[in-house]
Amino acid sequence: MKFAKQFIVEPDTKVKLADLDSEQTLGYKNDAKTQAKLDKSIQRLDALQYLLFAESKRALLVILQAMDAGGKDGTIRHVMSGVNPQGCKVTSFKEPSAKELAHDFLWRSHLATPEKGMIGIFNRSHYEDVLVVRVHKLVPKQIWKERYAQINAFERLLADNNTKILKFYLHISKKEQKRRFDERVDDPTKNWKLSAADFAERQFWSEYMEAYEDVFSRCTTAHAPWFIIPSDHKWFRNLAVSSIIVETLESMDMQFPRPAIGPLKRDSSS
Ligand code: ATP
Ligand code: MG
């Protein structure tokens, strides 16, 4: 559990994001050896997803959170590139619709949770309800401050029903965000990714950091841990996320089910 151990947020710890190096690569270099390791991890994930589906007793939920340009989309594109599309469902959470707002904040997340045998990926999640909602005061404090406990109870319910939960924060520096925004301005194939809202949100960087730090100290649990992934280097981010997912699935001791009609014999009729 090398990568998991390195980046997990243990329960009851206070995180200061500014103290965590977003350029960390644990000594890995962006070379052919690292690429080969990532390729192997991506292949292994495919085999493990096959086993998860064959067993169909458990589900895996991967939650991705990051600041704008933090790399949620790129992580999904790379890390899941080897997985059978039938075994994996990605849900992107945007501003809630009128219908979603007419329900409790966890309703839309619960609807999107993976069924047994499946990997579910949340691109943003119910954590937005204690992040953007808190930073922009979209609901009063007495409402959002209750949500940490509500989220913990919700994730406990999922875990008790055989859903393994992994939560990743893709940690980039404010400087790296600026570099990525500039790249999006300069590159015509990336212009479309930028919105005025991205620049506006950047003004609230420190408020977001504070809101994230509260999320980590209040909502990391043994059954649904947070991992803070140094993400200034995209190749390292992909390696770390992929390795943690593989390490976790490996540790679940999944078994192929015994044939329902055993013992199986080859059909000898012609
Ligand atoms: P990309 O920009 O890469 O397409 P994105 O996830 O940033 O991906 P956008 O459509 O740009 O997608 O942004 C979605 C917006 O919806 C974000 O600003 C996010 O904070 C907001 N959002 C998500 N959940 C909620 C929520 N519960 N309440 C209010 N706003 C939310
Ligand atoms: Mg966006």
Sign of the alpha-carbon torsion through 99, 77, 134, 195: negative
- What is the set of domains in the chain, with CATH numbers? 3-250 (3.40.50.300)
First to last CA, the chain: 50
Please give the pLDDT value at position 50. Answer: 98
Model confidence at 17: pLDDT above 90: yes
Please give the pLDDT value at position 262. Answer: 72
| Residue 21: exposure state from Cβ atoms within 10 A (0-12, 13-18, ≥19) | exposed
Q: What is the mean pLDDT of the chain?
A: 96
Ligand 2 centre and the CA of 68: distance in Å?
6
Q: Which atom of ligand 1 is found nearest the CA of 197?
A: 18
Q: Per-residue pLDDT tens for 98-136?
A: 999 999 999 999 999 999 999 999 999 999 999 999 999
**Probe target for ligand 1 pocket from 128, 134, 172, with the most ligand atoms within 8 Å of CB:** 128
Q: Which atom of ligand 1 is found nearest the CA of 129?
A: 27
